[in-house]
Chains A and B, each alone.
Chain A
């Protein structure tokens, strides 16, 4: 299937990427050419094949639920764009 302008706008919104009107034709064209490539899979029957999520078919390893790390909030927040009193600042979300 082929994407149109409104599909691209919807995908960009889902991905939380602002997109200029002027960029939409270019994204529509390149995403459609990528979709044409990946749609080649549809010609192959995969009935009954178990999906492979991880090359080793590994499962998540668990460890004991113990405190292993010390508090290093100030150090880890040093690279944040906006912090105040140990909190990350974002635009107001609750009126």
Chain B
């Protein structure tokens, strides 16, 4: 059962092959026995999972099951889960048990899904390797000496290792797509505002977007359907109606106009990755798509722009961690300033402190125009590049990452080399556009991701494209060789 998708497990449940209680226990046992190798979970919520599974079985017995009822899922540990520790990968929140559920968690609970636990992540979602977690690095299931990517590294590794059929992630600069690519799974970053941010611990609020991490596009469509939509508790959630994502999965791709941005295919990217992406594009040509070269001329500016704006927003968002209302508090503070300073020095890790300080500096008196305002202007330039390109083509295809999974420790000591890892992903977050990463082959035995970028609220089209690709290729079905089968 561990190799089945959500969709297949859903059918097995409805045929009565096993109960949700049995399915849940099987996955819990698998996590317990195998996750010592990967460290992809921070918390396993066994008791609550079994209660949810029993309730799901009762709903099914009453004839009220949805397609998601009784299926297991794990949530990235930045989504608040009532009664379950929500650490955000930080010592700061090591003792934080959320008093409420994130809207996304609430919706998946309402659909009958069973939460098996909380997945490991870079601290406060700041990182591209999962090495900044207070709970230790996650190992890539394809090669335990390599990183799974980040910041949703635990979510990606757990799905790749078949510890869970699906998970949730969040993407501020590539944190769903990059680990999905490095672990060989499917990861969708929806349009900004498509899914409520309520109860998702904030990093950079004008970028943060949640999304599903699965093995197939079909499963991503099932999850997005339940997760998306306006939320009165998040005034930035979109009011656009949510279409039926599963009904368009099989639309014909004949005549689809694909753009390949020349800046994403330039030197500096592993040639094997570019080759896999070109091969994937050729598959779409066989389906009747047309391909043309396009330009996103300001791509290089996305990294400096992002690394001003995101830390600036983070420095403001993370000021709430002050040792007063929740989370870590230093011992015996001598005055209020000492309480703040030592609490934050002890509770935050090095990368989080760096980004808070960069943001604080960028927003400080005298530097606002040179940094923050300038970066916001560049943000509009980058958005305009995408708008122009998407007037010419329906979707943009590109690599997700410049290299495949790197070694643990390889980029850890140099923050700037780690930031370059996001070159192909973070311009979308600046523009607020949706993108999906799907497996498209291997480079030296490590998974490679194809990124498909669409217009605002074109999630249905992206899922359609990804699903059609997964009908004619088997890359998404590949599993790491050393996994034990059921």
Contact = CB atoms under 8 A, between A and B. Distances in A.
Contact of B378 (A16, A41, A72): A41
B325 A15 contact: no
A50 B333 CA distance: 45
A67 interface: no
Task: Give the interface residue-count category, chain A.
Answer: 35 or more
Interface stretch (B24-32, B180-188, B217-225, B337-345): B337-345
B415 A38 contact: no
Contact of A91 (B97, B327, B338, B345): B338
Contacts of A76: 99
Given A11-B360, A39-B304, A88 B325 contact: yes
Contacts, number: 163
B341 A16 contact: yes
Given A34-B358, A79-B326, A55 B206 contact: yes
Given A39-B304, A56-B193, A56-B432, A17 B345 contact: yes
Contacts of A93: 335-336
B329 A82 contact: yes
- The SS class assigned to the B binding surface is helix
A92 B378 CA distance: 45
B381 A46 contact: yes
Interface in A1-33: 3, 7-8, 11-12, 14-19, 27, 30-31, 33
Given A18-B341, A37-B416, A80 B326 contact: yes
Query: Which of A30, A46, A52 has the largest number of chain B CB atoms within 10 A?
Result: A52
Interface stretch (B54-62, B275-283, B348-356): B348-356
B303 interface: yes
A71 interface: no
Interface stretch (B63-71, B119-127, B147-155, B368-376): B368-376
A51 B298 CA distance: 16
Given A17-B344, A79-B326, A55 B432 contact: yes
A58 interface: yes
Interface residues of B, number: 73
A11 B362 CA distance: 10
Contacts of A80: 324-326
A16 to B, nearest CB: 4
Contact of B337 (A16, A19, A79): A16
B315 interface: yes
Given A15-B360, A16-B344, A37 B380 contact: no
B232 A63 contact: yes
Contact of B416 (A34, A58, A60, A81): A34
Contacts of B98: 79
B364 A17 contact: no
Contact of A17 (B334, B357, B376): B357
Contact of B339 (A14, A54, A91): A91
A16 B344 CA distance: 7
A41 B375 contact: yes
Interface in B361-414: 361-362, 364, 370-371, 373-381, 383, 414
Interface of A: 3, 7-8, 11-12, 14-19, 27, 30-31, 33-42, 44, 46, 49-56, 58, 60-61, 63, 72, 75-76, 78-82, 88, 90-93
Given A17-B357, A37-B303, A37-B307, 4 more contacts: A34-B419, A39-B304, A41-B304, A55-B430
